Amino acid sequence: MSGTSLDGVDAALTEFIDTPGQRLQSKVLKTYTLTFSPELREELLALHESGVNEIHRTAMAGNQLARLYADAVNGLLAEANIQPSQIFAIGCHGQTIRHRPELGYTIQIGNAALLAELTGITVVSDFRSRDIAANGQGAPLVPAFHQAVFGHPQINRTIINIGGIANLSILNDGKEVIGFDSGPGNMLMDAWAEKHTGARYDESGNWAMTGQVIDRLLSQLLAHEFFTLSPPKSTGRDLFNLEWLRSHLSPDDLAHDVQRTLLALTAHSIADAVQKHAPNTDEIYLCGGGAFNHALIQHLRLLLHPVKIESTDILGIHVSAVEAAAFAWLARQALLKAPGNLPCVTGADGLRILGAIYAC
């Protein structure tokens, strides 16, 4: 998995145990991470917008990603002492450079055919396009996985993935799953921190906590129409980016105060979504990079008190491995010819088998 945060590649060696009459067990046996080079990260950011020779540049970036994905797979297997022949398949999300479901398309690059050649392992990729073709959003896809491995027959749980974008999976016993993007997760905070401090992200939210929330700015940001839309809904850099942020800034806004306000934006948009769509939730479990932001977690606990908020580590999958494990599950679904989407989440016309298969 390489996500909206553009920090690198997370690989998870995942084993699934399906026992009749019992909930599917998912075990992450090993994880492995590779960071993007500054040059690749800069190019991937640039490809979110039209530019000179972008078709060629997109293809070349896709090839570079495939090689990085292969390095991640090979490094993971070497550390786990597992042979490629023991792997059922690789589920590869690819790197999103455009997500425009309202226009009928989404683009994730990564050259799955090359990845299959480099690893000698069957690759399943392009998970989102079929759902969009069926009039869905193509996102979020992880709620189906969350339901399969984190759902509880007596406890109402909400799983919140805070990556570049934050998304919620509301798992209420006996009811349809509700899942949607709530808005920016780490994306704006990371971009603003890098611009003003040079660091890729604001570790633990420490820089943000030196500032004060700019109430005017927070109100303006939360007034975006996306936050009032009802699910199904999804978003990305096409909507929430630094240009959008700058359009709301005043000359006297201090950088650390803006960072504190962006942290509040993420916290409030998540909390508002929980209160509106999951008022009966008993437990909240966090995953994704935002689960390491102590200031953000503290803010969420204040806004959502007295609901219990913990990490998915308690449920058996480390916060950094949940999304990668989800795409392993989606690959498994595709090869079993089983649906991978939840129409109640994405808005698709029905259940669909997701993914293109590059068999080995």
CA dist., res. 155 & res. 99, Å (int): 34
CA dist., res. 351 & res. 356, Å (int): 16
Identify the three-state secondary structure at position 287: strand
String of b and e for 3-30 (b: at least 16 CB within 10 Å)?
bbbbbbbbbbbbeeeeeeeeeeebebee
Check if the beta carbon of residue 278 is closer than 8 Å to that of residue 139.
Answer: no
**Residue with structure tokens 């297997």?**
77
Tens-binned pLDDT, residue by residue, of the chain (360 aa): 998 778 899 999 999 998 887 788 899 999 999 999 999 999 999 999 899 999 999 999 999 999 999 999 999 999 999 999 999 999 999 999 999 999 999 999 999 999 999 999 999 999 999 999 999 999 999 999 999 999 998 999 999 999 999 999 999 977 899 999 999 999 999 999 999 999 999 999 999 999 999 999 999 999 999 999 999 999 988 899 999 999 999 999 999 999 999 999 999 999 999 999 999 999 999 999 999 999 999 999 999 999 999 999 999 999 999 999 999 999 999 999 999 999 999 999 999 999 999 999
Identify the three-state secondary structure at position 162: strand
102: which 2 tokens?
């309202």
CA dist., res. 236 & res. 185, Å (int): 10
Residue type, 54: E
CA dist., res. 148 & res. 126, Å (int): 21
CA dist., res. 116 & res. 121, Å (int): 5
Residue type, 257: D
Tell me how long the chain is: 360
In the chain, the domains with their CATH numbers are 8-136+327-358 (3.30.420.40), 142-315 (3.30.420.40)
Query: Alpha-carbon torsion 199, 200, 202, 207, what sign?
Result: positive
